[in-house]
Structure 1
Amino acid sequence: MTATSTKASPPATRRRRKNDPESVRADILAVATREFSEKGLSGARIDEIAEKTRASKRMIYYYFNDKETLYLHTLEAAYQKVRLQEAELDLDHLAPLEALSKLVRFTFCHHAKNPDFIRLVMIENIHHGRFIAQSALIQSLNAGVIDVLTNVYARGVEAGCFREGLDPRELHWLISALSFFNVSNQHTFSRIFDWHQAAPENQQKLEEHVTDMVLRYVRADETLS
């Protein structure tokens, strides 16, 4: 009886997979994220992605047509993940300084915990942003974060705690740059200066420094210490 039930399991599993296309697509995208982030667009292979997923090579092509389309969907999924998490911060109900601090800390921690995202962005920069330029979804998602910052900044100016004349896009650049460097140059910086940058205590210090630098940049003169 046991042997019969064991043999019946794989077909049942396959049927469940066929009836759950979103799960199959998510599995493909998760593996593709690792492959593209480690090997780049040119180095990643559909054969290898198929071997590491629950899908066949034929199924990958069915869902994504070709490798470049899969790469673009991988980028979209990575940006969608971070932007959806930002939306859950619920910054509108926080005071401006607290809202900005929460956003900065989130960005720093997200990047630190998702090095694949950083590597994907670096790879897309090698391609001069060619694939991102093709994605209306990514354009929309990233416009959203500027809208969020614009709202937080405007409330801060109105409350008198933020100085006037700042561009929210430049503020986003500053937050991204400080958080991005922490991951993109972690290994070289650590080796050059013989400093274990990834150690939890050092990451905590850097998170505090980055948050403090951004808040000092936006604060009105009278609130500077």
Structure 2
Amino acid sequence: MTREATILGRDLAELNEGFLVLMAAEVDAGFSSEVTARLRSLDHHARHRLAAVPFALFGFGFQDEATWARLLSPGVRDLDPGYVSREPGAERFTLLALTALRAFARAHPQSVSAWIGLPARTRSRLAGVEIGQLATVAALATPRLKGRLAGRDVLWKRLIDAARHGDERLLAMLAALGKQWTIRRCLGIENPTAAPRGFRR
């Protein structure tokens, strides 16, 4: 692994860890109550292991390209002068994440798309957006912040248990599945196509 790839991986892991810290602060990320409780019970070491998986643990609904085309358009209006965030922690994280993703989309477009499931057109729009516009975009995008695959309790429970027990083998296997799913999403593939009979996938 190159030094550049190592640095990128570290920076992406820090975003994941920031999301997990946000979860511990009782932000609703769309998980079931059981998964939420398990995530909040992780200690620092387990959280660090979970954050290091090679895909984003959070998302902003980037697959909804029409919505993101509007959010990232030059015509997005400024916030009202008296605007006060209802979720300041989540909004700060969203701004941090979008700022980082914008930089990554410029320097490592393919890698960041594979990491968070960022379609090519949305990635290009994000890379080209003016930095001063991101605070407004973040405020509007914060309600879209959710855990990735938040409805898949079994997957998340296994990820959490592997991180808690330091099961590197299981964590690597689950991480590979998660990364494969993320790549499919950035390519716009929602569900696997059934393989013809007689062939194995």
**In which range does the TM-score fall when normalised by the shorter chain?**
under 0.3
More helix by share: 1
Considering Cα pairs closer than 8 Å and 6+ residues apart, tell me whether 1 or 2 has the greater RCO: 2
TM-score, normalised relative to structure 2: 0.28
